[in-house]
């Protein structure tokens, strides 16, 4: 099939002087780039305020646990590949047991013994051990299980309440040897534990002192009625030694977690005056206690974002019977921001180690609960909280060469915080500094500039418009950037008027089945070519994919140059959805200059020329979009 092309004599007089000139950048992690610093960017962020759409920080929500009457308290391993959680699914046992799930395959493994009650699990930073609390050593655990089954039969819809069994102790399961080690032995509720980021410490909640101290008759009655009243925060070494009590305030202190840097602890404190709780933080030695929330409602289940900059928690601020998720700055500045607003209870939220996903327990009105996961918009959360963008400060590495360390490095250096690590950018400087820190950690000797780990070099990082750019169209000077613009690929210089040939999309494909879309079946030597941006609009996905390599601006220019074209003019087709009337290319990137001039012109001007020739640009594009000749 032979195509007939339309020859349109447009008289142009072009003067393109220094269309684009390169910006030179020195790559060095020491100097501040010309782009905005993170501090400058943060000044543009909005002050803390309420979300107009409560779900705007959460997307792609999906359920990840399904079995059993209830499941909850899901926590990730450092790589985000595994989740440890509690679930009521063990045959013959009505109480929670601890399970480890492969998040890729969904396969689960029982970690606890299957006996007694269990709760509050956590994966060791090495990924080799799992911590949890259990009552399986209680000699009465079978009788308690039978009693629970009977109670559930009698009261199918009874109100769910947590049991602070004094037989709860903390255990660690070795995932390789399956060995179970008991860490606490005192009478009392020892639970709500988690490892520090370096794996050396465990923080937990306990009322053990109430069982070992001399209590008044009033306190004894209170212990029997409400053992949670005596709960406080404790810390101990990972082997169960050096136990230290950190809080001594009446009321329930519990749900502690270490901050990502391991220097602080977040927890919630219940009031002695009713079902009220607030979020607190303190140093791991118990000093610098600080109240973070002042909502005067039941705020609980706090958890740090991996950056350590803010905390997520649950609260019944809008309805005493409805728990929603909130975020608040770790420094306590500003008001907490509500994230969810559902009739169900959104509780026990946790972030994935990369900080870009969120898991939480969603409990319906019947008391049935399962774990859900969703994508989390950290950048938007920071804008709402008035926080700077997140750049990770530290990578925790083992002294040994391990698969986990290699994966941690890959995940760190490819993380979203570095925005692709563009050469010369602020993120690239942080990136290279982190590599230098790792070299220093490995003990490597610096041999770069000034005895550093760096060697500076100059490169072209971007292009910008030069002076004296001008285009005459039918003897009229066109407004630059509004009606026309040279593109960064363009050759600089003065170019006189020549004939212009409309060559459709300017595509040349070597695939025989796509020959109908080839534009160059006639000579364009010595002439300008007028080309449509993008690809034919009405092609199927398979053909679109096949034509894609031939459709980029750069490739179209190279093809025109190889065919002998004098220059290239790009326009947005009337059938093409485009944000701009001009074909724009970001000047923040450097493009290699080609040996022909390249520019873009407003479509309306070209349509007028077509109309004078008795042609319709829109009709011609529709034919091209279907692969028909013109």
Q: Would you say 330 and 281 are in contact if contact means Cβ atoms under 8 Å apart?
A: yes
* Tens of pLDDT, residues 501-513: 999 999 988 888 8
What average pLDDT score do residues 460-466 get?
A: 73
pLDDT of the residue at 396: 57
Give the integer Cα–Cα distance in Å for 506 and 529.
8
Residue 12 has pLDDT above 60, yes or no: no
Task: Compare 36 and 62 and report the one with higher pLDDT.
Answer: 62
- Greatest mean pLDDT among 85-89, 587-591, 595-599 lies in 85-89
CB 170: neighbour CB atoms within 10 A? 24
Residue 2 has pLDDT above 80, yes or no: no
Distances from the Cα of 17 to the Cαs of 158, 566, 597, in angstroms?
82, 17, 11
Residue 82 has pLDDT above 50, yes or no: yes
Distances from the Cα of 284 to the Cαs of 88, 170, 255, 259, 362, in angstroms?
33, 19, 14, 9, 31
Q: Which CATH code of 3.30.365.10, 1.20.140.10, 1.10.260.40, 2.120.10.30 fits the domain covering 51-69+259-393?
A: 2.120.10.30
- The residues, ordered by sequence, that sit 6+ positions from 549 with a Cβ below 8 Å of its Cβ are 555
Question: Could you tell me how far CA 115 lies from the centroid of its own chain?
Answer: 38
- Give the SS3 label for residue 561: helix
Backbone angles phi, psi at 152, to 5 degrees: -70, -30
* Tens of pLDDT, residues 277-314: 999 999 999 999 999 999 999 999 999 999 999 999 99
pLDDT band at 106 (very low <50, low <70, confident <90, very high): very high
pLDDT of the residue at 367: 66
pLDDT band at 593 (very low <50, low <70, confident <90, very high): low
Residue 1 has pLDDT above 70, yes or no: no
pLDDT of the residue at 16: 47
Model pTM? 0.60
Residue 13 has pLDDT above 50, yes or no: no
- Give the SS3 label for residue 491: coil
Residue 147 has pLDDT above 70, yes or no: yes
What's the mean per-residue pLDDT of the chain?
85
The secondary element (H helix, E strand) that includes residue 379 is: helix 378-385
* Tens of pLDDT, residues 148-159: 999 888 876 666
Residue 450 has pLDDT above 80, yes or no: yes
Task: Compare 595 and 212 and report the one with higher pLDDT.
Answer: 212
Q: Would you say 519 and 532 are in contact if contact means Cβ atoms under 8 Å apart?
A: no
What average pLDDT score do residues 117-123 get?
A: 98
Alpha helices in 386-537 (DSSP H): 403-413, 426-442
Kindly state the tokens that stand for 143.
């009788």
In 91-249, where do the E strands start and end? 97-102, 108-110, 118-123, 129-134, 169-174, 180-182, 190-195, 201-206, 232-237, 244-245
* Tens of pLDDT, residues 349-367: 999 999 999 999 998 666 6
Q: Of 503, 518, 502, 488, nearest to 593 (Cα)?
A: 488
Give the integer Cα–Cα distance in Å for 571 and 584.
10
CB 106: neighbour CB atoms within 10 A? 10
Distances from the Cα of 97 to the Cαs of 58, 175, 454, in angstroms?
29, 16, 52
Ranges 418-422, 440-444, 561-565, 597-601: which has the least confidence: 418-422
Backbone angles phi, psi at 351, to 5 degrees: -95, 150
Give the integer Cα–Cα distance in Å for 157 and 433.
58
The residues with which 258 forms a beta bridge, in sequence order, are 265
Give the integer Cα–Cα distance in Å for 550 and 542.
14
Task: Compare 54 and 433 and report the one with higher pLDDT.
Answer: 433
* Tens of pLDDT, residues 516-549: 888 998 899 999 999 999 999 888 888 888 988 8
Torsion angle of C-alpha atoms 447, 452, 458, 459, degrees rounded to 10: 90
pLDDT of the residue at 138: 97
Residue 228 has pLDDT above 60, yes or no: yes
Residue 30 has pLDDT above 60, yes or no: no
Residue 52 has pLDDT above 80, yes or no: no
Give the integer Cα–Cα distance in Å for 522 and 490.
24
CB 64: neighbour CB atoms within 10 A? 16
Backbone angles phi, psi at 557, to 5 degrees: -65, -45
Torsion angle of C-alpha atoms 136, 137, 142, 144, degrees rounded to 10: -80
pLDDT band at 399 (very low <50, low <70, confident <90, very high): low
Residue 582 has pLDDT above 80, yes or no: yes
- Tell me what percent of the residues of the chain surpass a pLDDT of 70: 85
Sign of CA dihedral 87, 93, 95, 100: negative
pLDDT of the residue at 589: 56
pLDDT of the residue at 489: 82
Strand order in the sheet with 12-16: 476-477, 470-473, 12-16, 493-495
What average pLDDT score do residues 541-566 get?
A: 91
- DSSP annotation of 562 reads H
pLDDT of the residue at 406: 75
What average pLDDT score do residues 66-75 get?
A: 94
pLDDT band at 400 (very low <50, low <70, confident <90, very high): low
What average pLDDT score do residues 78-101 get?
A: 96
Give the integer Cα–Cα distance in Å for 480 and 146.
83
- DSSP annotation of 413 reads H
- Tell me what percent of the residues of the chain surpass a pLDDT of 90: 60
Q: Where in the chain is the domain with CATH 3.50.30.30?
A: 9-19+466-626
Q: Would you say 522 and 560 are in contact if contact means Cβ atoms under 8 Å apart?
A: no
Q: Would you say 470 and 477 are in contact if contact means Cβ atoms under 8 Å apart?
A: yes
What average pLDDT score do residues 126-140 get?
A: 97
Give the integer Cα–Cα distance in Å for 121 and 112.
10
What average pLDDT score do residues 190-198 get?
A: 97
Q: Where in the chain is the domain with CATH 2.130.10.10?
A: 70-151+160-254
pLDDT of the residue at 539: 87
Say if domain 9-19+466-626 classifies as CATH 1.20.140.10. Answer: no
Q: Of 583, 623, 626, nearest to 6 (Cα)?
A: 623
Q: Of 53, 59, 37, 60, nearest to 384 (Cα)?
A: 53
pLDDT of the residue at 11: 44
pLDDT of the residue at 14: 47
Distances from the Cα of 564 to the Cαs of 128, 195, 358, 540, 555, in angstroms?
65, 69, 56, 31, 14
* Tens of pLDDT, residues 415-447: 776 667 777 777 777 778 778 877 876 778 888
pLDDT of the residue at 456: 83
Kindly state the tokens that stand for 581.
């009337």
Task: Compare 515 and 417 and report the one with higher pLDDT.
Answer: 515
What average pLDDT score do residues 56-85 get?
A: 94
pLDDT band at 41 (very low <50, low <70, confident <90, very high): very low
CA R_g for the chain? 33
Q: Would you say 94 and 78 are in contact if contact means Cβ atoms under 8 Å apart?
A: no
Longest CA span, the chain: 104
Torsion angle of C-alpha atoms 554, 558, 560, 563, degrees rounded to 10: -170
Q: Where in the chain is the domain with CATH 2.120.10.30?
A: 51-69+259-393
The CATH architecture assigned to 70-151+160-254 reads 7 Propeller (2.130)
């Amino acid at each position: 099939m032979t195509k007939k092309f339309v020859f349109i004599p447009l008289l142009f007089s072009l003067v393109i002087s220094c269309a684009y000139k390169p910006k030179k950048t020195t790559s060095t992690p020491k100097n501040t780039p010309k782009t905005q610093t993170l501090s400058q960017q943060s000044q543009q962020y909005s002050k803390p305020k309420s979300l107009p759409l409560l779900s705007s920080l959460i997307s792609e929500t999906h359920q990840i646990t399904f079995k059993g009457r209830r499941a909850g308290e899901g926590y990730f391993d450092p790589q985000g590949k595994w989740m440890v959680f509690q679930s009521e699914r063990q045959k013959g046992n009505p109480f929670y047991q601890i399970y480890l799930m492969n998040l890729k395959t969904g396969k689960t493994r029982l970690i606890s013994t299957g006996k007694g009650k269990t709760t509050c699990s956590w994966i060791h930073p090495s990924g080799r051990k799992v911590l949890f609390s259990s009552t399986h050593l209680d000699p009465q655990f079978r009788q308690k299980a039978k009693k629970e089954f009977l109670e559930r039969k009698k009261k199918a819809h009874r109100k769910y309440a947590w049991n602070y069994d004094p037989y709860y102790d903390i255990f660690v399961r070795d995932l390789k040897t399956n060995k179970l080690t008991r860490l606490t032995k005192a009478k009392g509720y020892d639970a709500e534990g988690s490892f520090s980021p370096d794996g050396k410490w465990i923080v937990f909640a306990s009322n053990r002192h109430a069982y070992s101290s001399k209590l008044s008759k009033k306190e004894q009655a209170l212990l029997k009625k409400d053992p949670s009243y005596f709960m406080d925060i404790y810390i101990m070494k990972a082997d169960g030694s050096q136990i230290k009590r950190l809080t001594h305030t009446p009321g329930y202190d519990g749900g502690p977690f270490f901050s990502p840097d391991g220097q602080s602890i977040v927890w919630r404190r219940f009031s002695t005056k009713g079902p009220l709780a607030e979020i607190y933080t303190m140093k791991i030695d118990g000093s610098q206690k600080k109240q973070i929330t002042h909502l005067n409602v039941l705020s609980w289940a706090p958890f740090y974002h991996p950056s350590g900059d803010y905390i997520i928690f649950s609260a019944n601020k809008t309805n005493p019977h409805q728990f929603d998720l909130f975020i608040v700055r770790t420094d306590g500045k500003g008001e907490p921001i509500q994230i969810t607003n559902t009739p169900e209870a959104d509780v026990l939220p946790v972030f994935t180690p990369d900080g870009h996903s969120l898991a939480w327990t969603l409990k319906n009105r019947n008391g049935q609960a399962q774990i859900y996961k969703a994508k989390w918009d950290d950048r938007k959360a920071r804008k709402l909280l008035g926080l700077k963008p997140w750049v990770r400060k530290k990578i925790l590495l083992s002294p040994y060469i391990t698969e986990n360390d290699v994966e941690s490095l890959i995940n760190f250096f490819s993380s979203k915080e570095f925005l692709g690590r563009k050469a010369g950018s602020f993120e690239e400087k942080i990136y290279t500094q982190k590599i230098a820190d790792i070299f220093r950690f490995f003990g490597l000797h610096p041999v770069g500039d000034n005895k550093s780990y760096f060697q500076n070099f100059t490169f072209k990082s971007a292009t910008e418009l030069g002076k004296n750019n001008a285009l005459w169209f039918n003897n009229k000077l066109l407004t630059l950037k509004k009606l026309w613009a040279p593109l960064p690929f363009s050759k600089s210089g003065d170019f006189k008027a020549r004939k212009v040939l409309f060559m459709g999309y300017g595509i040349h494909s070597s695939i025989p089945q796509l020959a109908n879309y080839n534009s160059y079946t006639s000579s364009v030597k010595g002439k300008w070519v007028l080309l449509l941006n993008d690809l034919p609009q009405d092609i199927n996905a398979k053909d679109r994919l096949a034509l894609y390599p031939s459709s980029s601006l750069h490739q179209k220019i190279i093809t025109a140059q190889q065919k002998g074209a004098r220059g290239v003019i790009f326009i947005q087709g009337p059938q093409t959805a485009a944000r701009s009337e001009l074909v724009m290319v970001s000047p923040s990137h450097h493009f290699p200059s080609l040996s022909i001039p390249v520019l873009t012109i407003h479509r309306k001007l070209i349509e007028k020329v077509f109309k004078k020739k008795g042609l319709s640009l829109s009709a011609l594009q529709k034919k091209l979009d279907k692969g028909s000749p013109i």
